[in-house]
């Protein structure tokens, strides 16, 4: 509803009159503040967007998010949130959000919806094929060696067990335990290029 200049002056005047007459508006203000979240469920969580890891309070009502704010008890952000964190509810309430795996075949112009089973099988197949094709068991490296009391550069064939054909860009949406398991998995495959979107 639009408020005209006249309405605004009337409202301001009413506020001034209440103040002049010694009437307190605080119970009405308190009631107005209370309404939004008074019956909502309060859940604390961590912002998934970046490595700062701000604490959040999420209010839900009937399964819907009705408010997100910084957690004042959280030692990292003490109640504040950046604009990105403040709009975190859009992760869920967003018509543009894609919730199913999409696939665009090489050379195709359109994306198609695929099942999770199919997508995971394809990722596994391509990961295995790329790793097999790019895996290096050893690599020639330079080391210092003592020869007749003198330090000289020499080359040796060192075990590296790595693949430079695959890289990983992780996500700030992962928690500590997930990151630990993910890192173990990637190192087990022999990945060297392991990055994180919050650090780029
Ligand atoms: S994106 Fe913003 S709110 Fe979220 S953790 Fe980073 S700084 Fe905090």
Q: What is the pLDDT of residues 107-132, one digit of tens each?
A: 999 999 999 999 999 999 999 999 99
**Cβ within 8 Å of residue 191, ≥6 positions away:** 162, 163, 166, 167, 168
3-state SS class at 180: helix
Average pLDDT estimate for 85-109: 93
79 in contact with ligand 1, CB cutoff 6 A: no
Atom 6 of ligand 1, residue of closest alpha carbon:
50
**What average pLDDT does the chain have?**
87
Q: What is the pTM of this model?
A: 0.62
Average pLDDT estimate for 13-24: 58
Q: Which range among 17-21, 80-84, 88-92 shows the weakest confidence by mean pLDDT?
A: 17-21
40 in contact with ligand 1, CB cutoff 6 A: no
Based on the number of CB atoms within 10 Å of its own CB, is 85 exposed (0-12), middle (13-18) or buried (19 or more)? buried
CA of 82 to the centre of ligand 1 (A): 6
Residue 38, pLDDT > 80, answer yes
Residue 17, pLDDT > 70, answer no
The per-residue pLDDT for 37 is 82
The per-residue pLDDT for 55 is 96
46 in contact with ligand 1, CB cutoff 6 A: no
Average pLDDT estimate for 38-54: 89
The whole-angstrom separation of Cα 66 and Cα 88 is 12
The per-residue pLDDT for 64 is 92
**Cβ within 8 Å of residue 131, ≥6 positions away:** 163, 165, 166, 189, 190
172 in contact with ligand 1, CB cutoff 6 A: no
Average pLDDT estimate for 142-154: 91
Atom 8 of ligand 1, residue of closest alpha carbon:
54
Q: Which atom in ligand 1 lies closest to the alpha carbon of residue 81?
A: 3
């Amino acid at each position: 509803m639009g408020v005209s200049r006249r309405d605004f002056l009337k409202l301001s005047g009413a506020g001034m009159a209440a103040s002049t007459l010694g009437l307190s508006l605080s119970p009405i203000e308190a009631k107005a503040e209370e309404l939004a979240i008074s019956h909502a469920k309060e859940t604390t969580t961590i912002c998934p967007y970046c490595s700062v890891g701000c604490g959040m309070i999420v209010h839900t009502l009937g399964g819907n998010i009705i408010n997100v704010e910084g957690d004042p008890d959280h030692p990292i952000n003490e109640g504040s949130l950046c604009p990105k964190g403040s709009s975190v509810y859009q992760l869920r309430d967003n018509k543009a959000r894609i919730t199913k795996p999409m696939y665009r075949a090489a050379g195709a112009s359109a994306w198609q919806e695929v099942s999770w089973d199919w997508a995971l099988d394809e990722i596994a197949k391509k990961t295995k094929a790329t790793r097999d094709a790019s895996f290096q068991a050893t690599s020639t490296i330079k080391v210092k060696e003592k020869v007749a009391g003198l330090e000289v550069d020499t080359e040796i064939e060192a075990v590296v067990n790595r693949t430079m054909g695959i890289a990983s860009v992780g996500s700030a949406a992962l928690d500590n335990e997930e990151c630990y398991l993910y890192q173990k998995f990637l190192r087990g495959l022999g990945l060297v290029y392991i990055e994180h979107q919050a650090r780029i």
